[in-house]
Amino acid sequence: MKFYDCVTAPSPPRVRIFLLRRVLPWRPYRLICGTANNSPRALNPDCMVPVLELDSGAAITDIIAICRYFEELHPDPPLMGRSAEEKAVTESWLRRIEWDGIYAAQEAFRNATPGLKGRALPGPVSLEQIPALAKRGCIRLQHFFAWLDARLTDNEFVCRPHFTIADISGMVAVDFSAWAKLKPPEHLGHLQRWYKDVSTRPRAKA
Amino acid sequence: MKFYDCVTAPSPPRVRIFLLRRVLPWRPYRLICGTANNSPRALNPDCMVPVLELDSGAAITDIIAICRYFEELHPDPPLMGRSAEEKAVTESWLRRIEWDGIYAAQEAFRNATPGLKGRALPGPVSLEQIPALAKRGCIRLQHFFAWLDARLTDNEFVCRPHFTIADISGMVAVDFSAWAKLKPPEHLGHLQRWYKDVSTRPRAKA
């Protein structure tokens, strides 16, 4: 099993943090780490990392799908839920965080960064930056910070009484927002408390 | 269990078709169908349908999460994969279709439709339309049609030897593209063959 990774991209930490939370008896993959160009096009036509290449030859080309693969094989601790209800509720929150947080940060960052001209979306298609979309991303991130703070008012973690993949993704969304020069406002105390908690735990950075 | 639905929205068919493929001994939910406004804000702060409200009071607010809930409880036929590898590979293709197909169609449609001024994204936040984003959505859909056709050259279905949730989502992406006045070009014969097959099966429309 080979894991194609890239240490300079904003999204692969979601998988790395996920894997660090598992106590595996061995590291079940060979790590192939470098630039985004090291993902063989034959494995992932989208030319993106991370990619997990299984011994069967199958390629898992999506961050959450890679996490699900390891969760299915090594379900402790459960970071994606254990029962049908837990799995579904966790996925609901995860996807909301991706949509409102990670994709919004991507809008804000990729449409305003000079080095990404013609690269407004990741993947093989060259797309021009749209300045109005960078502004929209910033607006969306402010709403994301506000609802996440509200959610965390009476909840220690995003969706369950314990740390899940939704917390990992929320933390990465906040970190990604900083790439777009946006941080959660200081007055959002619940979000600040949660971020400090989840980001300073052992194995929270990867 | 209550299922809040909306027959005029483009995305809920993904759940409805999914549910129609299962042979359940009973319909395990009470259907509450109407406009998008019938989703209680207390259940889903994003004000979107569909929402599945469980008897426990928990709300599952995401289309794929609702499908996963039913797949976990009633896994036959498996539309999201059975083994860890099948689940992960299916999710990879599903997410690629969402990103390149459904989200692209949403860009193209919502940013160019007069009735959606100030509603460029679903959800509670009013966002202005961006004409350049409508154009980008159309460009992305052309690439989506092309790669899906290439994928279907040697594959009867999107990601497995049989029909999965990736096919449901691909079919809905093609249907949603028509809302943006875009159809797969006639010369993409593999895509045309697949779409005709999956869309004319019994229980393919819901």
ipTM (interface pTM): 0.92
Set of chain A residues whose Cβ sits within 8 Å of the Cβ of B61: 92, 96
* Cα(B93)–Cα(B77) distance, integer angstroms: 18
Set of chain A residues whose Cβ sits within 8 Å of the Cβ of B72: 83-84, 87-88
Instruction: Supply the pLDDT for residue A25.
Output: 59
Instruction: Supply the pLDDT for residue B204.
Output: 66
Instruction: Supply the pLDDT for residue A204.
Output: 66
Strands A30-34 and A51-53: unpaired
CATH code at B84-199: 1.20.1050.10
pLDDT in tens, B124-139: 899 999 999 999 999 9
Task: For CATH 1.20.1050.10, list the domain ranges present in chain A.
Answer: 84-199
| Residue B89: closest CA among A164, A69, A197 | A69
Give the pLDDT band (50/70/90) at residue B24.
Answer: low
Range with the lowest mean pLDDT among A120-129, B176-185, B186-195? Answer: A120-129
Task: For CATH 3.40.30.10, list the domain ranges present in chain A.
Answer: 2-73
Identify the residue with better confidence: A171 or B50. Answer: A171
Average pLDDT over residues B6-31: 76
Instruction: Supply the pLDDT for residue B6.
Output: 78
Cross-chain Cβ contact B88/A96 below 8 Å: no
Local mean pLDDT, 10-residue blocks, chain A (206 residues): 81 84 67 56 73 91 94 92 97 96 97 94 92 98 97 95 95 95 97 95 68
Q: How far is B166 from chain A (nearest CA, A)?
A: 13
Set of chain B residues whose Cβ sits within 8 Å of the Cβ of A166: none
Does A62 touch chain B if contact means CB atoms closer than 8 Å?
A: yes
Give the pLDDT band (50/70/90) at residue B4.
Answer: confident
* Cα(B99)–Cα(B86) distance, integer angstroms: 20
pLDDT at B43 over 80: no
Does A42 touch chain B if contact means CB atoms closer than 8 Å?
A: no
DSSP 8-state class, residue A119: B
If DSSP codes are grouped into helix, strand and coil, which group holds residue A53? strand
Whole-model pTM above 0.80?
yes
Q: How far is B73 from chain A (nearest CA, A)?
A: 7
**CATH assignment of B2-73, given 3.40.30.10, 3.30.1450.10, 3.30.565.10, 3.20.20.100?**
3.40.30.10
Does B42 touch chain A if contact means CB atoms closer than 8 Å?
A: no
Burial category of B109 from C-beta neighbours within 10 Å (exposed 0-12, middle 13-18, buried 19 and up): buried
Average pLDDT over residues B153-178: 95
Q: How far apart are the first and last CA of chain A?
A: 20
Cross-chain Cβ contact B88/A60 below 8 Å: yes
Residue to mutate among B46, B51, B69, B139, with most A CBs inside 10 A, is B69
pLDDT at B182 over 90: yes
- Which residues are B34's β-sheet partners? B6
Instruction: Supply the pLDDT for residue A40.
Output: 53
Does B86 touch chain A if contact means CB atoms closer than 8 Å?
A: no
State what percent of residues in chain B have pLDDT above 90.
Answer: 65
What string of DSSP letters covers B85-142?
A: HHHHHHHHHHHHHIIIIIHHHHHHHHTT-GGGTTBSSSSSS-B---HHHHHHHHHHHH
